[in-house]
Amino acid sequence: MAASAERQEYERAMELRDQVAALEGLRERQHMDRQKTYNEDIVNYIASDGTVSLMLFNVYKGTLAGKHEYTFDETEEFLEEFLARYYADHEPPEEVILPVPVDDAVAGYLSHLRGGRVRVVVPQRGEKKNLLDLVRKNVEIAFFGDRIKLDELKRRLHLPDLPVAIECFDISHLSGTAMVGSMVRFLWGKPDKRNYRRFAIRTVEGVDDFAAIAEVVRRRYARLQKEGGELPDLILVDGGKGQLAAAVAVLRELGIKVPVAAIAKREEEVFVPGFSQPLPLERHEKASLFLQEIRDEAHRFAIAYHRTLRKKTVAP
């Protein structure tokens, strides 16, 4: 887990962190409350665009015993309907923790199924509320993790549209030789590897990252224009103000109006056109971590291409 975080592989590290938290957080309760002798189910959900994404955790005497995920259409009484269906096939525990109140008849129905009293509680604070929040966090990660990243990036970069498609450029060279460019594409927050591109630099001699960025950006989008291809929602370049200016100049020359940003190494500063200073974006914020993930993938892809060219050069 620490290795993933150090490499800033945001998606894997965040998912791993929250899955571990779901397990360890509930297991720690066993140590804090060894006298607990009853079982409980914890239910939470997110309803969005007519769809309910729901998780149910089974907790056996303070220890997580099972986790279930469901998606279904949102109706006026979807929670009551879900509980009725679920517990028709599963024995109700002594306690069911919910995020919102339900009809009193639900508790009566569950008690009838169990043959004993079932408490239906809606906690507002304390340990049970923390567990309810934990389940919701898992819903967010499992069902909406990528959308959350995109929403956050749109907000922090003040983008006009959700950055569903993002293309990122990186230049790689070794001691000023065999300069190569790479472009990676992310679609809905995930690598779209079928649409990665590699560029052997043709028009630049020596080390000139600005000119190299200009060349690969021009080649990419001039070709898309010619072929009628779909433009991305955001263009990202590895570098600072110089690389950003080079990319912006080419796009302006081509008449392409797509938001552009640059992310510089070391301090992970993010630059956008029209501002001489980097955005007030902390390097550990979700939006910054997502940009770092994309940039690192572009760099990895460029390095892999560079190594391939070197092997061909030294091959007998």
Inside any domain, residue 159: no
Q: Which tokens in the block code for residue 302?
A: 């460029």
Q: Which residue, of 115, 145, 175, is where some domain finishes?
A: 145
Q: With beta carbons less than 8 A apart as the criterion, state whether 199 and 219 touch.
A: yes
Q: Which of residues 239 and 177 earns the better pLDDT score?
A: 239
- Give φ, ψ of 180 to 5 degrees: -135, 155
Is the domain of 139 the same as that of 173?
no
Is the domain of 170 the same as that of 141?
no
Inside any domain, residue 160: no
Banded pLDDT at 4 (limits 50, 70, 90) = very low
3, pLDDT greater than 80: no
d(CA 80, CA 6): 44
Is the domain of 179 the same as that of 301?
yes
Q: Which of residues 4 and 285 earns the better pLDDT score?
A: 285
Inside any domain, residue 157: no
CATH code at 233? Answer: 3.30.420.340
Inside any domain, residue 209: yes
46, pLDDT greater than 70: yes
Total structural domains within the chain: 2
What domain range is 37 assigned to? 2-145
Inside any domain, residue 224: yes
Is the domain of 174 the same as that of 267?
yes
pLDDT at 8: 44
CATH code at 19? Answer: 3.30.420
pLDDT at 17: 53
Is the domain of 307 the same as that of 268?
yes
Inside any domain, residue 153: no
Is the domain of 280 the same as that of 236?
yes
Inside any domain, residue 245: yes
pLDDT at 48: 85
Q: Which residue, of 100, 117, 145, is where some domain finishes?
A: 145
Q: Which residue, of 111, 145, 179, is where some domain finishes?
A: 145
**Nearest alpha-carbon partner for 89 in 68, 61, 59, 116:** 68
pLDDT at 269: 95
- Residue 201, class by beta-carbon neighbours within 10 Å (0-12 exposed, 13-18 middle, 19+ buried)? buried
CA angle 266, 267, 272 (to 5 degrees): 115
226, pLDDT greater than 90: yes
Is the domain of 12 the same as that of 101?
yes
How does the average pLDDT of the chain come out, rounded? 86
Is the domain of 188 the same as that of 257?
yes
Could you give the count of Cα atoms lying within 13 Å of 77 in the half-sphere of its Cβ? 9
Q: With beta carbons less than 8 A apart as the criterion, state whether 243 and 213 touch.
A: yes
Is the domain of 116 the same as that of 211?
no
Q: What is the mean pLDDT of residues 198-204?
A: 86
Q: With beta carbons less than 8 A apart as the criterion, state whether 120 and 107 touch.
A: yes
Banded pLDDT at 5 (limits 50, 70, 90) = very low
- Asked which of 66-80, 158-172, 244-258, 292-306 is least confident by mean pLDDT, the reply is 292-306
Give the list of residues 6+ apart from residue 17 with CB closer than 8 angstroms, or none: 1, 5
Is the domain of 104 the same as that of 171?
no
Buried b (16+ CB within 10 A) or exposed e, 130-158: ebbebbbbbbbbebebbebbbebbbebbe
Is the domain of 173 the same as that of 297?
yes
Inside any domain, residue 151: no
Is the domain of 185 the same as that of 139?
no
